[in-house]
């Protein structure tokens, strides 16, 4: 049960990291007021800030979702 919860949490974390990093890259490009190195700011901010924040959020959601049991009573 614990390993299943951990595995689903890690899977969700990886997916959430990728999705939040890609989404934040384009959002920073669009809304940043920085003129001379906007692409560097977008890349660094998305990979080192928004990506890990999304991964933590995804891990929590995945751990909660991975620990739920079905209503049919399966124990597998």
Q: Say yes or no to pLDDT of 20 above 90.
A: yes
**Residues 76 and 19 sit within 8 Å (Cβ to Cβ):** no
**Mean pLDDT, rounded, for 16-31:** 96
Counting DSSP H helices and E strands in the chain, the numbers are 3, 0
pTM for the structure as a whole: 0.84
Nearest 5°: the CA angle 10, 46, 36 is 170
Q: What is the pLDDT of residues 29-55, one digit of tens each?
A: 999 998 889 999 999 999 999 999 999
d(CA 36, CA 64): 43
């Amino acid at each position: 049960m614990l390993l299943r919860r951990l595995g689903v949490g890690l899977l969700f974390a990886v997916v959430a990291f990728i999705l939040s990093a890609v989404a934040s890259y384009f959002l920073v490009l669009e809304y940043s007021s920085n003129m001379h190195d906007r692409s560097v700011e977008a890349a660094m901010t998305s990979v080192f800030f928004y990506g890990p924040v999304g991964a933590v959020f995804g891990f929590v959601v995945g751990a909660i979702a991975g620990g739920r049991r079905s209503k049919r009573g399966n124990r597998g």
